Amino acid sequence: MNPQLKQLQPEFNQECDQLGIALTNEQSEQLLSYLSSLLKWNKAFNLTAIRTPKEALYLHLLDSVVVSPVIEQFASCLDVGTGGGLPGIPLAVLNPDKEFTLLDTNSKKTRFLKQVVYELGLSNVTVVNERVQDFAHESGYACILSRAFASLKDMTDWTQHLLAQDGQWLAMKGVYPQDEIDELADSVKLVESRQVKVPNLDATRYFIYLQKIS
C-alpha cells in the first residue's frame, strides 16, 4: 500500500464513521489498497487526473463510499462508464451481499479493474469491456449507477434495456441538474433527489433517482 495512504488510514476511518458508514478493518485495508493500485496504475494507464493520495482519498474514495447507504434496497447494481472503478469497487467492498457489474469501453481500464478484483478477492464483481448499447443482461439490474457518465437523458436512453422491472437509475451530480431533468423522456420520472455532503470537500453532491413510468 502507498505509505501516504497508510498514514491517512485513521483519518479515512474517522470520516467514514462520521458518515455513518460501518467499516471493518479488512474493508478499510481493501479500500485503501484499491486506491493505492489506482494511483500506481494511473502512471501508465491514465485512469484519473487526480495524482496525490490525499486528494484521491477525498475526491474518489470518500466521494464513492457516501453512496453506500443509499443503495441498501438494491440487490444488483450496474456501474456504467465506471472508468477506474468508481463508485463500483468501493461499493462492492462495502456491500459483499450485493452483485456489481462494472462496464466500460476502455480496455486498459477494464484490464486494471480485473486485476483489482482478483487482488481484493471480490467475488461479487463482474467487469465488462463493452459499449453500453451492445451489452445485454437477461434479468436486468435493480439499480444502474452513474458517477460521471453522461447526461440524465443519455444515461436513461442508452441503458433502459438493462434496467429490471421496478428498477431505478441513480445518478451522482455535482450540481442539481434541473435542465437535465427537464430533458428526460416522458417515460422517465424523477423519484427522489438527495443532497449529500462529502467531508472536507467544498462541494455538494446530489443523488438523483429515476424510474420508468409503467
Closest Cα to residue 142, out of 211, 59, 91?
211
Give residue for cell 437477461. Answer: 138
Note the pLDDT tens digit of each residue in 185-209: 999 999 999 998 888 877 788 999 9
Exposed / middle / buried, residue 73 (Cβ in 10 Å: 0-12, 13-18, 19+): exposed
Give pLDDT, residue 53.
87
CATH number for position 181: 3.40.50.150
178 Cβ contact partners less than 8 Å away, ≥ 6 residues apart? none
Residue 105 has pLDDT above 90, yes or no: yes
Give pLDDT, residue 104.
96
Q: How many domains does the chain have?
A: 1
Note the pLDDT tens digit of each residue in 165-178: 999 999 999 999 99
Rounded Cα gap, residues 176 and 178, in angstroms: 6
The total of other beta-carbon atoms located within 10 Å of residue 146's CB is 24
Rounded Cα gap, residues 104 and 86, in angstroms: 11
What's phi and psi for 170, nearest 5 deg? -130, 110
8 Cβ contact partners less than 8 Å away, ≥ 6 residues apart? 32, 53, 54, 57
Residue 148 has pLDDT above 80, yes or no: no
Note the pLDDT tens digit of each residue in 48-89: 777 788 888 988 899 999 999 999 999 999 999 999 999 999
Q: How far apart are the first and last CA of the chain?
A: 48
Closest Cα to residue 174, out of 198, 155, 190?
198
Residue 91's domain comprises 3-212
